[in-house]
Amino acid sequence: MSIQTVGIIGAGTMGNGIAQACAVSGIQVVMVDISDAAVAKGLATVASSLDRLVKKEKISEADKDAALARIKGSSSYDDLKGAQLVIEAATENHELKVKILKQLDGMLAPNVIIASNTSSISITQLAAATQRADRFIGMHFFNPVPMMALVEIIRGLQTSDATHDAVHDMALALGKTPITVKNAPGFVVNRILVPMINEAFFVLGEGLAEAEAIDAGMKLGCNQPIGPLALADMIGLDVCLAVMEVYLKEFGDSKYRPSPLLKEMVAAGRLGRKTGQGVYKY
């Protein structure tokens, strides 16, 4: 199956990043969000990102203009009807995702593949909310999407080989390195990463070291490019908390209990870069 047009649900950080990666690679994109204002903000983010690449001489001005011309912003699901693949990149909330997926399933042609960019929710469970479970798959991009090479491709219990192969080939066409993983909470990367971030919050909350020292220790001692607390601010503390809560619920193992400090900071609205303050001030 040749994927020439991709629909994307969500014009936020992940959605507009996926849209940019597709458009730069020559794929037509329809990016949908709930309001024209949200769509316009997503398109502006893509334009700004491409401007930075032009300044760094990574792409030409003509490349930028061509990429932007390939992205159509819309607040109507009807504009998705020409896509061969639709990627759901909405907020990491199970009920919201199920609502969106049922709506997509009811209006897309039977042969269209639906993928979810979820970072922790069961692909098998999400697939069961549709009538095309064999054509449903996880396609987990990493932030910032235009820069990060990895895509986790997650097979649900029902995912067909043809669906997997089409999405795998599409990831390669984007210049990404796909890895295929089995369905389980957090899959592979976040299963390891987010508990590490959570543990860093335990260490910070217990007063073992200041935030800067914790991050410096992990950068210099483990050769990580960014410390876990700074990374949490980039990801969003609310996202980290939501993932840990999924792990605790699904595995039933207390080792996945969220750090009290992480929960308190989310309750205070200190979610990281997107709110101007998390562990650090921005």
| 168 and 225 belong to one structural domain | no
Contact at 8 Å (CB) between 119 and 136? no
Q: Is 119 considered catalytic here?
A: yes
Backbone angles phi, psi at 188, to 5 degrees: -110, -60
Q: Is residue 61 part of a domain?
A: yes
Q: Is residue 102 part of a domain?
A: yes
| 173 and 238 belong to one structural domain | no
Contact at 8 Å (CB) between 107 and 79? no
Q: Is residue 278 part of a domain?
A: no
| Both tokens assigned to 149 | 């090479």
| 66 and 141 belong to one structural domain | yes
Does 236 appear as a known binding residue?
A: no
- Show pLDDT as tens, one digit a residue, over the chain (282 residues): 689 999 999 999 999 999 999 999 999 999 999 999 999 999 999 999 999 999 999 999 999 999 999 999 999 999 999 999 999 999 888 899 999 999 999 999 999 999 999 988 899 999 999 999 999 999 999 989 999 999 999 999 999 999 999 999 999 999 999 999 999 988 999 999 999 999 999 999 999 999 999 999 999 999 999 999 999 999 899 989 988 998 999 999 999 999 999 999 999 999 999 999 999 999
Predicted confidence at residue 249, as pLDDT, reads 92
Does 122 appear as a known binding residue?
A: no
Q: Is residue 246 part of a domain?
A: yes
Please tell me whether residue 12 adopts helix, strand or coil conformation.
coil
- The model's pTM is 0.88
Does 143 appear as a known binding residue?
A: yes
Distance of CA 66 to CAs 86, 87, 102, 167, 168, Å? 21, 22, 33, 24, 25
Q: Is residue 280 part of a domain?
A: no
Catalytic residue among 116, 120, 122, 140: 140
Domain count, the chain: 2
Please tell me whether residue 33 adopts helix, strand or coil conformation.
coil
| 30 and 11 belong to one structural domain | yes
Among 147, 182, 217, where does a domain finish? 182
Residue 222: CATH number of its domain: 1.10.1040.10
Predicted confidence at residue 119, as pLDDT, reads 85
| 26 and 99 belong to one structural domain | yes
Does 73 appear as a known binding residue?
A: no
Q: Is 93 considered catalytic here?
A: no
| 28 and 107 belong to one structural domain | yes
Q: Is 259 considered catalytic here?
A: no
| 133 and 225 belong to one structural domain | no
| 43 and 135 belong to one structural domain | yes
Does 263 appear as a known binding residue?
A: no
Does 57 appear as a known binding residue?
A: no
| 110 and 18 belong to one structural domain | yes
Segment (H or E) for 182:
strand 177-182
Predicted confidence at residue 2, as pLDDT, reads 82
Range of the domain at 149: 5-182
- Determine the Cα–Cα distance for residues 1 and 224; give it in Å rounded to an integer: 38
Does 199 appear as a known binding residue?
A: no
Q: Is residue 199 part of a domain?
A: yes
Q: Is residue 213 part of a domain?
A: yes
Among 158, 182, 206, where does a domain finish? 182
The residue type found at 187 is: F
Does 13 appear as a known binding residue?
A: yes
Predicted confidence at residue 153, as pLDDT, reads 98
Predicted confidence at residue 91, as pLDDT, reads 87
Catalytic residue among 16, 116, 117, 119: 119
| Both tokens assigned to 90 | 């909405």
Among 134, 162, 182, where does a domain finish? 182
| 142 and 197 belong to one structural domain | no
Q: Is residue 277 part of a domain?
A: no
Predicted confidence at residue 42, as pLDDT, reads 97
Catalytic residue among 88, 152, 198, 259: 152
